[in-house]
Amino acid sequence: MKYSLSDFDFDLPDALIAQMPLPDRTASRLLHVDGEQLVDRHFSDVIDQLAAGDLLVFNDTRVLKARFFGVKETGGKVQLLVERVLSNTDENRSVLVQMRASKSPLPGSKIRLAEAFDVVVGERQGEFFTLFFPDDIFTLLETYGRLPLPPYIEHDADDFDEQRYQTVYNRVPGAVAAPTAGLHFDQALLERCQQKGIELAYVTLHVGAGTFQPVRVEDLNEHVMHSEWYTVPQETVNAVRKTKAAGGKVIAVGTTSMRALESASQSGQLEAGSDDTQLFITPGYVFKTVDRLITNFHLPKSTLMMLVSAFAGYDRIKSAYAHAIAQRYRFFSYGDAMLLTNTSGKA
């Protein structure tokens, strides 16, 4: 069946969009899509659905304090969102940013950020601007930037968000949005998994702001996927191969872990390396590495709705979302989760 954009639309009451995280990371609900059955569980019980010898693959990216307010030399105000750090050497400290301004700044001009330091405007790259920072980028971001929350969360980030909009295992700075399925894991749950004999492995995919951009074309073949940088270490490749050989399941924690693993599997088998990915997964795609997926609930008409429909089946996802709305699950970044099984390539 050929799908179009409107096939991935659904009505979501605003009251179901989670505005704050629960006090306990593991207190969320978990909708287990188990064949044709929809089972309501608690997230802390996810360990009971996993077996010794299975492999959980997490995205260890860290969310940058990537949002800035600034002033141009002309006095005009700007808002910036750092999309990607391009280079952070003494010779070249440059970033790509999305910029909101009444008039675009000219190359070579300066912008004062956070009333603290100046950046120099470089060339424009499509929808992005290049900016050159005066000192170590990550230090300046951490010191003066603000944590960027998703556009559907209606409050500015506070100290609680700065803790809870990061996974407990984050270690590689570079994302502008959290890999939200991982927000449900605390250190105690990770330790319980290991005690059961479940292996843990990591990839890095720096989530870009493009993850929130709507698909604007009805014909999905015309959509150009945003680009994100990923790394799959050899250690993770070895863990995947060992798990598969022993008959265990590879479980991606989040669609970002999924995209990294599948992007690195385009030759037919998982290979270590780093690259940009624009992999756009829609129904009909046959998954090469991932057996199961832990994921949050996604925006209507989003590329992530298309991904989970490709993974678990369009009709099954449609039923799962209808059930979640009827049972008043919490949606999006601070919301509840699903556990899905790969049915791609199967009748």
- 284 φ, ψ to 5°? 110, -20
- 325 φ, ψ to 5°? -70, -45
Instruction: Output the pLDDT for position 101.
Output: 94
8 A C-beta contact, residue 183 and residue 167: yes
Q: Residue 58 pLDDT more than 60? A: yes
Percentage of residues in the chain with pLDDT exceeding 70? Answer: 99
Sign of the Cα pseudo-torsion (300, 303, 309, 312, in order) = negative
Q: Residue 345 pLDDT more than 80? A: no
- pLDDT tens readout for residues 195-220: 999 999 999 999 988 778 889 999 99
User: Mean pLDDT in the chain?
Assistant: 96
- pLDDT tens readout for residues 307-335: 999 999 999 999 999 999 999 999 999 99
DSSP for 19-41?
-S--SSGGGSEEEEEETTEEEEE
Which pTM does this prediction carry? 0.95
How far the first Cα of the chain sits from its last, in Å, is: 13
